[in-house]
Amino acid sequence: MFHVEYNGYSAVYTGDYNSYADRHLGAASAPRLAPNILITETTYATTIRDTKRDRERAMLQLITETVERGGKVLIPVFALGRAQELAVLLETYWKRTDSNIPIYFSAGLIEKANLYYRLFADWQNEKIQE
């Protein structure tokens, strides 16, 4: 987030953010501000969706059913943060269900992202920091 003040006016500009903690990152926070204008990313601003828990449960069920039938699952992920959260979700689920199904991630950006997650560990939620 960027807060810019000029000539008695102020603006806050931000990309995507989440006011709720994810599995890997804490919730976005900012000091109390009263900008004249807020510019923000709004991809899902008017979308009403099922709860995150319901969406995750449905996805894990589909993955499990597919693998149990002998299939393989490929999950293209459009964002590095989403890939990290998916990794945590799958690892947690696999441990809870005693699954021995291997999980593979393609190399490249995800490896670089892992480096930054280690460098900026304080950005992550307490559970992941531990």
Catalytic residues, which ones?
Answer: 41
For residue 41, give Cα distances in angstroms to 4, 12, 17, 47, 127.
17, 12, 8, 14, 28
- Determine how many CB atoms are found less than 10 A away from the CB of residue 77: 15
Say which amino acid occupies 26. Answer: G
